[in-house]
């Protein structure tokens, strides 16, 4: 390991020394750092951010959620099961190996071996090489999300990751627990930065790739030093004192402070993570009645929560899909009407209310504990007495799976950036065998929603598909299948001169390769 670091350091000095001389160094502080160096071993926000620094995807999302060509310069559908990707020519990995179609094949096959990715790539066949710079990505059924999935394909250096390492293990092994070549070796990607040093949890150093293929990238940061700072107050203090230049996330309680300080800027951007509370119909008879579920939604002042508790850092939601997603319907707005809620409760025969237990996390989502407390207080207005218990995330999910409470809080971000993913995990009938409805602890079950969601998976006509997604969203809204709170916004604090807005997006992966420091 040490030797690898030394070699890479030496290499970066020789190769990068001159090119990066006049470029700036960015000191970046995040809540946590990438879990591993193997980008296909763990699927997490941290790892995807890291992938965008050191690797490039075939395509990526632009701010308007359209697809932006990266290593694939163009693509076309050649039959219902195949999309042909034309790759950028003349791209080199950090190791010096040329990037060709074989690396795409290697990468997709490796993802199909990885526990975290195999679910996402279930529909994918081994890609077929047409020539060095053309590759056909094939699926085993007509599949509407091939491009969405292509944002996950960050081609690895197949030469670099093939063979056996010093310990006699295959270099391409994907290992969850313990040593593997890819977990411990500074990676070789095509990305704007090469990783030159990493001490897990302490520090990571990235140097600008002097031979970066994308000559149009405006980025002028020569070096990035990433330090994780877990404690929110310390992270903010480090920015305010000038010890670091760029932090995220920014805790809501410090928004004013950062906004007022003339040396730093605050940026926020709409995020895609929805916060909801599920009502377990198998535990509580009352939740089977749509009127009760609607009353609960009507009694929840989620606009108030977004303003008072989230201090404007959240967008109140009346549906699962955030703006920009195919299923988003602007007509489905959050409602708050206490009188109507009370009337509905009376109509359903629960005028005197009932008692319900509730669990929520206290360190997973922004202000999750406060949101849950506010919700419990609001429920009192329609005579539902909520017994709330908050639990740290390490213990929460086991309790969640066991469905120990009537109300259960859950946040969800669609990892395909498509509405369908919300329905598959949160709204479809729970089914242990197919895995659908895995996070539907409310046990809401509507065959029509199931049918439409499955149809959307294979519908490649986008207009028809969008109409179906909107139809599902409408059914869920009308039936009030869960309590909608809000979509969490992303927040960034940066030193003056850092042009942050052009590089942020719904996924919270700021493209630091394109970051400009004036």
Partner 1 sequence: MFAFIVRRVFQAILVMVVIAFIGFSVQHSIGDPVRDMVGERVSLAEREALREQLGLNDPVLAQFGRFCWKALHGDLGTSYFHKRPALDVIVSKAPATLELVFGATVIILSFCFPVGIYTAIQPRAWFSRFVMAVSTIGVAVPVFLTAIVLIYVFGVELQWLPTYGRGVTVNVGGWDTGLLTADGLLHLILPSVSLASIMLPLYIRLIRSEMMEVLETEYIKFAWAKGLSRWRVWLLHAFKNTLLPVITVFGVEIGILFAFTLLTETVFQWQGMGFMFLEAVERSDTALLVAYLVVVGVMFVVINTIVDICYGLINPMVRIAGNP
- Exposed/middle/buried for 46, CB within 10 Å: 0-12, 13-18, 19+? middle
Distance of CA 505 to the CA centre of its chain: 11
The DSSP code for 163 is: S
Which of 291-316 are b and which e, b meaning 16 or more Cβ less than 10 Å from the residue's Cβ?
bbbbbbbbbbbbbebbeebbeebbbb
Which of 352-389 are b and which e, b meaning 16 or more Cβ less than 10 Å from the residue's Cβ?
ebeebbbbbbbebbbbbbbbbbbbbebbeebebebebe
d(CA 214, CA 216) in angstroms, rounded, equals 5
Question: Which of the ranges 35-43, 133-141, 162-170, 445-453 carries the binding residues for partner 1, by CB under 8 A?
Answer: 35-43
The DSSP code for 424 is: I
- Beta-carbon contacts of 277 under 8 Å, excluding residues fewer than 6 positions away, are 358, 360, 372, 375, 407, 408, 409, 410, 482, 483, 485
Using rule CB under 8 A, residue 230 touches partner 1 = yes
Q: Please, which residue, 183 or 280, has the CB nearer to partner 1?
A: 183
Among 131, 285, 398, 478, binds partner 1 (CB under 8 A): 398
Minimum Å gap between C-beta 40 and partner 1 is 11
Tokens at residue 481, please? Answer: 């299948």
Using rule CB under 8 A, residue 35 touches partner 1 = yes
CA distances from 301 to 52, 337, 355, 377, 474 (A): 38, 8, 20, 11, 20
**In this structure, what are the phi and psi dihedrals at residue 363, rounded to the nearest 5 degrees?**
-150, 25
Minimum Å gap between C-beta 228 and partner 1 is 7
Each residue 174-203 as x (binds partner 1 by CB under 8 A) or -, in order, gives -xxxxxx--xx---------------xxx-
Minimum Å gap between C-beta 184 and partner 1 is 8
Minimum Å gap between C-beta 256 and partner 1 is 15
The size of the interface with partner 1 (CB under 8 A), counted in residues, is: 47
Among 67, 197, 269, 397, binds partner 1 (CB under 8 A): 397
Using rule CB under 8 A, residue 231 touches partner 1 = yes
Tokens at residue 314, please? Answer: 């959240």
Each residue 310-349 as x (binds partner 1 by CB under 8 A) or -, in order, gives ----------------------------------------
Q: Please, which residue, 77 or 363, has the CB nearer to partner 1?
A: 363
Minimum Å gap between C-beta 268 and partner 1 is 22
Task: Name which of 383, 373, 369 is nearest 338 in CA terms.
Answer: 383
Using rule CB under 8 A, residue 95 touches partner 1 = no
Using rule CB under 8 A, residue 170 touches partner 1 = no
Task: Tell me if residue 213 falls in helix, strand or coil.
Answer: coil
Minimum Å gap between C-beta 392 and partner 1 is 7
Among 9, 19, 240, 455, binds partner 1 (CB under 8 A): 240
Using rule CB under 8 A, residue 241 touches partner 1 = yes
Among 58, 87, 238, 482, binds partner 1 (CB under 8 A): 238
Q: Find out whether 489 and 323 touch, Cβ atoms under 8 Å.
A: no
Q: Which positions touch partner 1 (CB under 8 A)?
A: 35-36, 42-44, 115-116, 118-120, 175-180, 183-184, 200-202, 227-231, 233-234, 237-238, 240-243, 363, 392-395, 397-398, 415, 425, 432, 435, 438-439
């Amino acid at each position: 390991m040490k030797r690898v670091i030394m070699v890479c350091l030496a290499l970066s000095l020789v190769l990068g020394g001159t090119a990066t001389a006049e470029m700036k160094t960015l000191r970046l502080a995040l809540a946590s750092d990438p879990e591993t160096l193997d980008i296909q071993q763990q699927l997490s926000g941290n790892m995807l951010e890291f992938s965008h620094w050191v690797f490039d995807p075939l395509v990526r999302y632009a701010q308007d959620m359209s697809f932006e060509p990266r290593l694939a310069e163009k693509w076309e559908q050649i039959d219902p099961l195949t999309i042909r990707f034309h790759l950028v020519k003349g791209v080199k990995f950090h190791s010096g190996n040329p990037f060709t179609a074989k690396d795409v094949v290697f990468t997709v096959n490796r993802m199909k071996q990885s526990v975290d990715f195999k679910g996402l790539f279930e529909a994918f066949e081994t890609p077929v090489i047409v020539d060095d710079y053309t590759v056909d990505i094939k699926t085993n059924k007509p599949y509407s999300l091939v491009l969405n999935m292509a944002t996950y394909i960050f081609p690895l250096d197949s030469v670099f990751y093939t063979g056996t390492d010093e310990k006699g293990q295959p270099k391409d092994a994907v290992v969850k627990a313990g040593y593997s070549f890819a977990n411990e070796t500074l990676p070789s990607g095509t990305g704007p930065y090469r990783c030159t040093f990493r001490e897990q949890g302490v520090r990571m150093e990235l140097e600008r790739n002097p031979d970066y293929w994308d000559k149009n990238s405006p980025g002028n940061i020569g070096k990035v030093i990433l330090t994780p700072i877990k404690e929110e107050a310390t992270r903010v203090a480090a920015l305010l004192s000038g010890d670091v230049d760029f932090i995220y996330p920014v805790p809501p309680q410090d928004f004013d402070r950062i906004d007022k300080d003339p040396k730093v800027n605050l940026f926020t951007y709409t995020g895609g993570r929805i916060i909801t509370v599920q009502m377990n119909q198998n535990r509580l008879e009352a939740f089977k009645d749509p009127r009760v579920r609607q009353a609960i939604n009507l009694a929840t002042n989620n606009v108030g929560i977004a303003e008072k508790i989230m201090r404007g850092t959240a967008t109140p939601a009346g549906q699962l899909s955030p703006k920009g997603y195919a299923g988003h319907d602007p007509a489905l707005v959050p409602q708050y009407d206490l009188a109507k809620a009370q009337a509905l409760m009376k109509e359903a025969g629960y005028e005197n209310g009932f008692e319900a237990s509730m669990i929520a996390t206290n360190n997973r989502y922004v202000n999750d504990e406060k949101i849950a407390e506010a919700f419990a207080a609001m429920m009192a207005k329609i005579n539902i007495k909520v017994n709330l218990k908050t639990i740290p995330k390490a213990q929460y999910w086991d309790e969640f799976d066991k469905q120990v409470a009537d109300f259960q809080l859950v946040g969800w971000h669609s990892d395909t950036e498509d509405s369908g993913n919300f329905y598959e995990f949160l709204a479809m009938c729970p089914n242990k065998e197919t895995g659908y409805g895995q996070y539907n602890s409310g046990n809401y079950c509507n065959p029509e929603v199931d049918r439409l969601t499955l149809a959307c998976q294979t519908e490649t006509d986008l207009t028809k598909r969008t109409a179906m997604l909107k139809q599902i969203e409408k059914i869920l809204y009308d039936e009030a299948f869960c309590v909608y709170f809000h979509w969490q916004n992303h927040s960034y604090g940066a030193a003056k001169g850092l042009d942050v807005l052009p590089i942020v997006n719904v996924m919270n992966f700021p493209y630091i390769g394109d970051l400009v420091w004036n």
